[in-house]
A and B are shown apart, each in its own frame.
Chain A
């Protein structure tokens, strides 16, 4: 060894450097996967350009249209219907009849071919989601879609990841409100967390998710059953 050493003292420093490099690389990879591939990064904020610059802020926020005026099936079906062109023409036959922004709508009305709206909140095909099941039990639109009434262009606010769904399915109390307030997107904003929980617990009792003493029932555990969402 002493004749012609292959390994020299400076290599000890190199070894430390390599070790530190490996540790940093490992940490970097973990953080990149954890944050970079998270649906909060990849999915939330999605805002495709629609064929018509329809403003929810104007129609819902300022004019006060109810969600259900256009999305008619939301209370009775799994899918919240995207309105047909005729719904738009109900008003726009008289209002802004010459606006160029509405050209695609009038063309669609004449040709009979629907406007090609782009779906923003799109769950994977292996997920079963039912709008009526949520809306008729007091889960507001705002819980998943955010303040649509303030959006010029609709974009995805929540991650819509499985973990995010489960967050509510495991502990729904603070996400529930009286059924008649479901489409009031700005309702109850001043409630404290305690008030939300107290109100939610009453609703959960009404739905049979917890019993009179506040203990969870089988119905609540069914909310996190695999086949509730993956059928």
Chain B
């Protein structure tokens, strides 16, 4: 296997200059008097730009093309099945009475949840001065945007008559008909809309100095123009940096409450209703923890291969990955605690329907889905108690996939089990997805990975300017820092 990879490596992957091929260095040891560096390479202010920019500037490799074309073909499923669905109607889905919310809502909640890690990394870790965020925030924010795009697809097609999807928005109209302002479904529109707007602004604004670097390095006139427009005339003057830093801080403050609010509102879709198993006050914190949990798992799924592929082993180091694994373990335990708490409250409430709903979840007709969820979400991250496992690329990649699967099943369990066995036993049924459900779900993954592949190729994958603040050369007073070419003020400011 390893020999095969060694042979294929040069063909699939780009050839990198510098110390891209440097061996994996364990920088996870912690000692207060001798902190290990965040970046394990010996890059300076110039070579760090070379390293990040060459991902964009080199010709796309066979490996990238394979990934892109595979994702793009899967995206084709959306191109086929979404028009099919719109033409024939939601009868082509498996939804019916009593399960009126099927894969579409499951996928919507899943994708919205995925996005949360990006915002947490970019906003909350920024406010808490967690410098390790600088290596991963750009890619994680991009992931947020793409996940929200995938999520946004589903309400639009779930309304059945997609041409009336604009009815979700409160637009003045001759019918004097408004969405129900007491309905969490409308709050969702505002929550997700705000989330997308703020995330996009934050991502784009944070990228402007790096886009300017790409512009200044560009050889091709088209690249010069496109990156030039995107960089919005960034010169790197002190005035620019001053305004930029302040705006970035403000946006971080603006995005921070969104980490908590968006998935709380999504959880209201369930919690505000009167369905047993949904009508629960624990839902907002439980959903937020689950969202961060699944989001970090998706960041891991994307970054573990990406850092190998793009030669960023010394930028996205083991320390970064280990930190993320710790968060996965923590949020996984919060989620597990919530699962347990739901059972306790169901018992403590003394309400028979409520008790039944949870016993039915664990031992009813969807027990298989429930135990997939528990084993993936609660059990699998427990392996991260062992440092050897936390720092093993193979283990963390497998666990991240398992968590993605588990969190998808969590939404499936919540949406489907409560509806399939509700108050009226005569109406009980077993929900089975149809081809259209599965194809659109896969298609949304195709959309996500296609967008991510394009992002890797055309946008600065890592925040180069921010990396300069955590370079070994910048953090160690003994080394002499070369002239700062980007105009970024000295590190630590």
A interface vs B, CB < 8 Å? 1, 6-7, 34, 38-39, 159, 161-164, 166-167
| A161 pairs with B175, CB closer than 8 A | yes
Inter-chain contacts of A6 with B (CB < 8 A): 221, 224-225, 228
Can you sample 25 A-B contacts with CB below 8 Å? A6-B221, A6-B224, A6-B225, A6-B228, A7-B228, A7-B233, A34-B172, A38-B174, A39-B174, A159-B174, A161-B174, A161-B175, A162-B174, A162-B175, A162-B176, A162-B177, A163-B173, A163-B174, A163-B175, A163-B176, A163-B177, A164-B174, A166-B175, A166-B176, A167-B176
Chain B residue at minimum C-beta to C-beta distance from A161: B174
B169-199 at interface with A (beta carbon < 8 Å): 172-177
B97-126 at interface with A (beta carbon < 8 Å): none
CB of B21 within 8 A of chain A? no
CB of B484 within 8 A of chain A? no
CB of B245 within 8 A of chain A? no
Chain A residue at minimum C-beta to C-beta distance from B215: A1
Chain A residue at minimum C-beta to C-beta distance from B229: A7
CA distance A164 to B291 in the complex (A): 45
Inter-chain contacts of B216 with A (CB < 8 A): 1
B interface vs A, CB < 8 Å? 172-177, 216, 221, 224-225, 228, 233
- Number of residue pairs across A and B with beta carbons under 8 Å? 26
Inter-chain contacts of A163 with B (CB < 8 A): 173-177
Chain B residue at minimum C-beta to C-beta distance from A42: B174
CA distance A1 to B177 in the complex (A): 55
Inter-chain contacts of B225 with A (CB < 8 A): 6
Inter-chain contacts of A164 with B (CB < 8 A): 174
Inter-chain contacts of B172 with A (CB < 8 A): 34
Inter-chain contacts of A162 with B (CB < 8 A): 174-177
CA distance A39 to B174 in the complex (A): 7
Chain A residue at minimum C-beta to C-beta distance from B172: A34
Chain A residue at minimum C-beta to C-beta distance from B212: A1
Inter-chain contacts of A34 with B (CB < 8 A): 172
B61: shortest Cβ distance to chain A, in Å?
29
Name 13 extra pairs, CB < 8 A, besides A7-B233, A34-B172.
Answer: A1-B216, A6-B228, A7-B228, A38-B174, A39-B174, A162-B175, A163-B173, A163-B174, A163-B175, A163-B176, A163-B177, A164-B174, A166-B175
Chain A residue at minimum C-beta to C-beta distance from B231: A7
Chain B residue at minimum C-beta to C-beta distance from A166: B176
A95: shortest Cβ distance to chain B, in Å?
44
Chain B residue at minimum C-beta to C-beta distance from A224: B176
B178: shortest Cβ distance to chain A, in Å?
11
CA distance A159 to B177 in the complex (A): 16
